[in-house]
Amino acid sequence: MTDTAKPINFIQQIISDDIATGKTSKVITRFPPEPNGYLHIGHAKSICLNFGLAEQFQGDCHLRFDDTNPEKESDEFVQAIIEDVQWLGFDWAGDIRYASDYFDQLYQWACDLIDEQKAYVCELNAEQMRDYRGTLTEVGKDSPYRNRPAAESRALLEQMKAGEIAEGKMTLRAKIDMASPNINMRDPVIYRIKRIAHHRTGDRWNIYPAYDFAHGQEDAIEGITHSVCTLEFAANRPLYDWFIENLNVPTSPHQYEFGRLNLNYTITSKRKLKQLVDEAHVDAWDDPRMPTISGLRRRGVSPSAIRNFCDSLAVAKTDGVVDMAQFEHFIRDDLNNNARRAMCVLKPLLVTLTNYQAEEQFTAPAHPQREDLGTRELSFHQQIYIDRNDFSEDTSLSRKKFKRLVIGDYVRLRSAYIIRADDVIRDSNGDIQEIKASIVPNTVGADAPEGIRARGVIHWVSAVNSVDCRVKIYDRLFTEATPDSGDKNFTEHLNPNSLELIEGCKAEAGLAAAQTGDHYQFEREGYFCRDSKTTDALVFNCTIGLRDNWKA
Ligand code: ATP
Ligand code: MG
């Protein structure tokens, strides 16, 4: 076990104990997504935990798709999940596994249960089944089919499997206890008829195992030693254990539950995220506003920021809501350390330097503290752009409040000259079109001469040698901290201003070569990355601002 400054969590403690007592020799965990959507930041917590435990205890972690629900699942989701897990930097032991690989074995186990009078084919319809099930305060009633002969159930199951029975007409149920205080134990359905094709097994099956009938046995087949999942499955654990006890399974896994990650101002439910996509509230699953792994990737969040954030979270036996600002702290911290610096003027204003006719190249560091990232070249010409917000005609603005260019005053251009604004040129509407300014000679990399004080430092690009680009600035997707709590309809709390597109931006020439996956700090603006989906133009997504200035 590696030394960590962090106190160990309860699952690490259990595993350490199991290793110490010899109960476990090799730790095997798994991450078991259902391929019915893209992974989100909540799944990242589970991925980091499961793969992290295997790494820490020199064990294995499996990647297993729990694909028991064909109508909601697809190969698109399988591929997206594989890509996301890999991108996060994790590698699974052996081949990728699928619940559907075990369909024959699961069917055999269902037959075994019937033969032992522990399962029966039930002909109650869904509504009747609900009536018979009882409530939290009332026990359920036995189905009239509960004691039918095993041979009859076997024959009916065979017919269900062969596609001879209509959907909804029959189910296979485990015979456990209709009076159990745990509703999960009241003769749960273990097979249902679904006459639809499966993304892997095609038309082979007309019946599919319930998730609850598959999950624990899959763990048993794979020899999972510590089956870690979220708290909502705690009430299903007795059922998983019942199957393990009543079936001839190779190993007896134990499930441990931890609190799921919820983040405020967003949602972590595949079903609801799917609704955002299906109803076109966002572009796609990888829309940079989505809390999906693919959305975060496209937004410019790095795998290490996600992993560091997940590692910082408590693994506890209670659910909690984590503040988005905590996640943003890790995103910003990672980018501050790793993103190359660059200049991009979002709202360009032309500046003509009337006393400058030359052409120069300045060299600036790619990162102020990271010599290993090298340098970049900046071309300087008579005409440059600065940001409109960096100029004011109001000479009464105090130097402290407005550390930018004011008419008649001085400012330093980052890595270049100090300049003075002399005059403004207006268009026919009276809007400022251009500034006439002059450089203060010999101020590149040198202090200002006596009597001249720059108000501050601003960014700029050459008007001759820069590239056009568009910039997308994102805000939180929801205006409510808990958009889906209680009976709230989360779509009513979408932030109408979550995306701002800024066109006509000008970036330093080197950014023409920006690649998807490169991270930049646009000086004084924020962190950006090139959008992976727009290939015909240079589009940058704002990952996050430089400071946390989001007001709740
Ligand atoms: P969702 O509720 O978003 O549909 P899910 O639990 O149905 O998620 P699965 O594909 O079944 O999605 O999840 C795979 C694994 O990820 C499970 O072990 C589950 O417990 C875990 N997981 C899902 N959501 C979270 C979350 N918010 N925090 C931590 N772990 C999660
Ligand atoms: Mg689920």
Contacts of 39 (CB under 8 A, 6+ apart): 33, 47, 80, 81, 84, 85, 292, 293, 294
C-alpha to C-alpha distance for 238 and 337, rounded to whole angstroms: 47
Ligand with the closest atom to the CA of 73: 1
Task: Say if CB 322 and CB 259 are below 8 A apart.
Answer: no
pTM over 0.85: yes
Mutate to test the pocket of ligand 1, among 29, 31, 82, 230 (most ligand atoms within 8 A of CB): 230
Q: Which protein residue has the closest C-alpha to ligand 1 atom 26?
A: 42
Question: 127 phi and psi, to 5 degrees?
Answer: -70, -45
Measured in angstroms, how far is the CA atom of residue 42 from the centroid of ligand 1?
7
Taking the CA of residue 47 as reference, the ligand 1 atom at the shortest distance is 16
Residues 409 and 392 sit within 8 Å (Cβ to Cβ): no
Instruction: Pick left, alpha or beta for residue 178 (phi over 0 → left; psi -120 to 50 → alpha; otherwise beta).
Output: alpha
How much distance in Å is there from the Cα of 203 to the middle of ligand 1?
Answer: 28
**433/337 Cα distance (integer angstroms):** 37
Q: Which of 30, 34, 43, 82 to mutate to test the pocket of ligand 1 (most atoms within 8 A of CB)?
A: 43
CA of 126 to the centre of ligand 1 (A): 26
In angstroms, the CA 206 to CA 201 distance is: 10
Nearest residue by C-alpha to atom 23 in ligand 1: 43
* Phi, psi for residue 118 in degrees, rounded to 5: -110, 10
Q: What is the CA(25)–ligand 1 centre distance, in A? A: 28
CA dihedral 89, 94, 98, 104 (to 10 degrees): -170
Query: How does pLDDT run across 352-394, given as a tens digit for each residue?
Result: 999 999 999 999 999 999 999 999 999 999 999 999 999 999 9
Angstrom distance (rounded) from CA 493 to CA 276: 12
Which residue has the CA at smallest separation from atom 15 of ligand 1?
Answer: 33
Angle at 529 between CA 550 and CA 42, to 5 degrees: 60
Compute the CA torsion angle 515, 518, 521, 526 (nearest 10 deg). 90
Long-range pairs for 477-480: beta carbons < 8 A, 24 or more residues apart: 477/265, 477/266, 477/282, 477/289, 477/290, 477/291, 478/265, 478/266, 478/267, 480/265
User: Probe ligand 1: pick from 45, 46, 68, 266, max atoms within 8 Å of CB?
Assistant: 46
Q: Which atom of ligand 1 is nearest to the CA of 35?
A: 10
How many A from CA of 41 to the centre of ligand 1? 10
For the chain of 552 residues, list the mean pLDDT of each consecutive stretch of 10.
Answer: 68 97 97 98 98 97 97 97 98 98 98 98 97 96 98 98 97 98 98 97 97 97 97 96 97 95 95 97 97 98 98 91 96 97 98 98 96 97 98 96 97 98 97 98 95 97 98 96 91 96 98 94 98 93 86 46
3-state secondary structure of 435: strand
Q: Which atom of ligand 1 is nearest to the CA of 261?
A: 28
Q: Which ligand is nearest to the CA of 36?
A: 1
Task: Give the distance (Å) from ligand 1 centre to CA of residue 48.
Answer: 13
Closest by CA to 174, choosing from 240, 232, 82, is 240
Protein residue whose Cα sits closest to atom 14 of ligand 1: 33
Contact between 97 and 85 under an 8 Å Cβ cutoff? The reply is no
Q: What pLDDT, on a 0 to 100 scale, did the predictor assign at position 479?
A: 95
For residue 273, give the ligand 1 atom closest to its CA: 3
- Whether the CB-CB separation of 364 and 378 falls below 8 Å is answered with yes
Instruction: Write the residue with the smallest CA distance to atom 10 of ligand 1.
Output: 33
Nearest Cα to 367, choosing from 530, 549, 527? 527
**Single-letter residue type at 337:** N
CA 247 to chain centre: 37
Give the strands of the sheet with 410-413, arranged side by side: 457-458, 410-413, 418-426, 432-440, 348-353, 383-387, 461-462
Atom index in ligand 1 nearest the CA of residue 34 equals: 10
Which-ligand-closest: CA of 40? 1
**42 to each of 307, 321, 371, 486, how far by Cα in Å?**
12, 11, 36, 19
What is the Cα–Cα distance from 330 to 60, expressed in whole angstroms?
Answer: 28
Residue nearest to atom 18 of ligand 1 (CA): 229
Residue 550, pLDDT score:
56
Rg, the chain, Cα only: 31
Residues with CB under 6 A from ligand 1: 32-34, 42-43, 45-46, 229-230, 260-261, 268-271
pLDDT for 552 equals 43
* Predicted pLDDT at 1: 45
Contact in structure between 78 and 65 (CB atoms under 8 Å): yes
Q: Which two tokens stand for residue 300?
A: 């410019």
| Distance (Å) from CA 352 to ligand 2 centroid | 61
Q: Which ligand is nearest to the CA of 263?
A: 1
Positive or negative, the CA dihedral 325, 326, 327, 328 is: positive
Give the CB-side neighbour count of residue 386, counting CA atoms within 13 A: 28
Distance 269 CA to ligand 1 centre (A): 8
Task: Name, in order, each residue with C-beta under 8 angstroms of 513's C-beta and a sequence gap of 6 or more.
Answer: none
Cα 105 to Cα 100: distance, rounded to the nearest angstrom: 10
What are the tokens at 226?
Answer: 């510590």
- Please state the φ and ψ torsions of residue 349, each to the nearest 5 degrees: -130, 125
> How far does CA 130 lie from the centroid of its chain?
36
Quickly list DSSP for 389-423.
Answer: GGEE--TTS-TTT--SEEBTSEEEETTS-EEEEEE
How many angstroms does the Cα of residue 102 sit away from the middle of ligand 1?
21
Which amino acids are annotated catalytic? 34, 260, 270
Q: How many CB atoms lie within 10 A of CB 69?
A: 19
Sign of CA dihedral 285, 288, 291, 292: positive
User: Residue 461: what pLDDT?
Assistant: 98
